[in-house]
Structure 1
């Protein structure tokens, strides 16, 4: 394990790790603060390590996944644009302030970035992780949560995958049509929500097929994430669907409906794999 310290993030890029498969660079920029880049031969994850391992950008095969266009960068390697992806944790303000330890580890052909911290509201320990495999354009976003309180902790989490909205994209998944049937009038909604996916498959797999042969995939266990959310974006006169976001609950659950809870002293893990096929 290579432990990283805040003082390693200077204004000039500092290569903190390199081998035949990966290069990891640390720096600080005005726009995003402390930044790590995890690079393999296919591309780069730009990560905000002390902000819950939030992924600022994910660029593979010459495309930024968050924009769907050729990626653009400001001078000296500074990332631009909004956050791309982050772990399944809705209370981001607490999480952003909670990372106290950051470390790198190479496990075979996989580079892992770990974070660890404790939050006071709610009282819990969070351990996010990112994994990038050599020669792969797919990566894993993970979160381990331990409830340090005596009272149960609600598990209302969404893994926010901020893929670019690609016109004319084709969506495929390993699920029957009833699992994805919308609730109510689609024209009045800003987000589509699936049925409980654990009723259909153990492992959900969603594809977004774009132009020029580009294909994106998101995979997750339906025991961890029961639902798939698909935000709707208005572009001119068109309403376009975004790529799936795994969730532990439906935004359309009636008041008083049962919510997943994590008992006192208990631990749960979440994992989403996403990227370019």
Structure 2
């Protein structure tokens, strides 16, 4: 899905452009890009169309901090009302979308030495650019940048994501490129952490078979979590009957978290799909290619301070840290000078689109699509 933007307009962005007042960076055919700075000091870039907006952190992780479409926020609820300038994962916890990896990701095991979800979530970016143009879907704006991570005798790579919003879209297309600059091979892990807000009585629909071969429930929690007896009983019920988690019943004791690692079937064009269908029949969606990211991780937490649905976090491995991935043979090998690519689509759908997507997913599950 790697898209060539070379024929489009590039607008260089630097931190000095981002002040306390909203400043219009560009307007183009129904799209507007606005620069501002949160009271925490973190720079934000808002890209909006007639149907909603995304707010990105162009210099910090290139996160999508918030997304609003169909007159509702798609973003998880957290204790953070604004982003915090930090490299620590749990000290800036609440973005709609962030990158995890790239030499490690997931919860570190007892013998791992990498930070939670690796170096990418809050990594510093330079060469930041707003891209403006037209493609087959119409006018768009996109944000890109470069983050180089270099540690002597260990790794040297550049991550370059691109997040694109079309004029008429209610979601985004994300393209990730990670290039190994070393003269030897790189071991890579990547996870796309997409954090929707759960809907009470929402239904989770996807192309995953409800059995213990295609859905594995993580039963080992990170040491900083102290689960309740009600949580343990709920988790054991999901282990016994995985389909039980597909309805987001209000007040289920999903605290601290439920983590499932799943194998999703793809359609004829190579895409796997997942929906959170809301009671009003609108939906949230994620689409990805299992040929690029072959694990569909699902993460749910529904506590007093955090309320989040990782509908699908497409990944190269289970989120159990580097050593677990190495032992299971999950590490991706990127040769010297080569680039790892993957692509995602996610956002919101109106009721009509959601019904069509649910029908497609049903056809994938039954082998028709």
Q: TM-score, normalised by structure 1?
A: 0.84
Match for 1:85 among 89, 97, 111? 97
Identify if the C-alpha distance between structure 1 residues 271 and 88 changes in structure 2 by more than 3 Å, giving closer, same or farther. Answer: farther
> Cα distance, 1:251 vs. partner?
3.7
Partner of 1:63: 72
Identify if the C-alpha distance between structure 1 residues 163 and 241 changes in structure 2 by more than 3 Å, giving closer, same or farther. Answer: closer
Q: How many residue pairs are counted as aligned between the two chains? A: 266
Contact 1:28/1:35 (CA < 8 Å) preserved in 2?
Answer: yes
Partner of 2:140: 110
CA distance in 1, matches of 2:48, 2:325: 44
Deviations 1:45-101 (A, max 9, x none): 010000131011001121110148xxxx89xxxxx9821111343465456444111
Partner of 1:215: 283
Gaps of at least 5 residues in structure 1 are 75-79
- Aligned pairs for 1:4-15 within 5 A: 4-15=13-24
> Cα distance, 1:254 vs. partner?
7.1
Contact 2:195/2:308 (CA < 8 Å) preserved in 1?
Answer: no
- Aligned pairs for 1:105-144 within 5 A: 105-108=131-134, 109-121=139-151, 122-144=155-177
> Cα distance, 1:214 vs. partner?
2.0
Q: Judge which range, 227-236 or 143-152, deviates more.
A: 227-236
Q: Determine helix, strand or coil for the equivalent of 2:47.
A: strand
Partner of 1:77: none
Contact 1:132/1:138 (CA < 8 Å) preserved in 2?
Answer: yes
- Aligned pairs for 1:12-31 within 5 A: 12-31=21-40
For the pair 1:54 / 2:126, whether they are aligned, the reply is no
What is the root-mean-square deviation in Å for CA atoms of aligned residues?
A: 3.0
Deviations 1:5-41 (A, max 9, x none): 2111111111010123200000112236111000000
Which structure has the highest strand share of the two? 1
Identify if the C-alpha distance between structure 1 residues 232 and 276 changes in structure 2 by more than 3 Å, giving closer, same or farther. Answer: closer
Contact 2:61/2:120 (CA < 8 Å) preserved in 1?
Answer: no
Partner of 1:275: 347
> Cα distance, 1:235 vs. partner?
4.5
Q: Please identify the structure whose Cα radius of gyration is greater.
A: 2
For the pair 1:160 / 2:226, whether they are aligned, the reply is no
Contact 1:204/1:221 (CA < 8 Å) preserved in 2?
Answer: yes
Partner of 1:260: 332
CA distance in 1, matches of 2:71, 2:41: 22
Identify if the C-alpha distance between structure 1 residues 18 and 255 changes in structure 2 by more than 3 Å, giving closer, same or farther. Answer: closer
Identify if the C-alpha distance between structure 1 residues 241 and 63 changes in structure 2 by more than 3 Å, giving closer, same or farther. Answer: closer
Q: TM-score, normalised by structure 2?
A: 0.65
CA distance in 2, matches of 1:230, 1:92: 18
> Cα distance, 1:240 vs. partner?
9.1
Identify if the C-alpha distance between structure 1 residues 240 and 47 changes in structure 2 by more than 3 Å, giving closer, same or farther. Answer: closer
CA distance in 1, matches of 2:343, 2:205: 21
Identify if the C-alpha distance between structure 1 residues 12 and 260 changes in structure 2 by more than 3 Å, giving closer, same or farther. Answer: same
CA distance in 2, matches of 1:98, 1:264: 23
Gaps of at least 5 residues in structure 2 are 1-9, 83-91, 106-116, 220-234, 240-256, 350-369
CA distance in 2, matches of 1:160, 1:184: 17
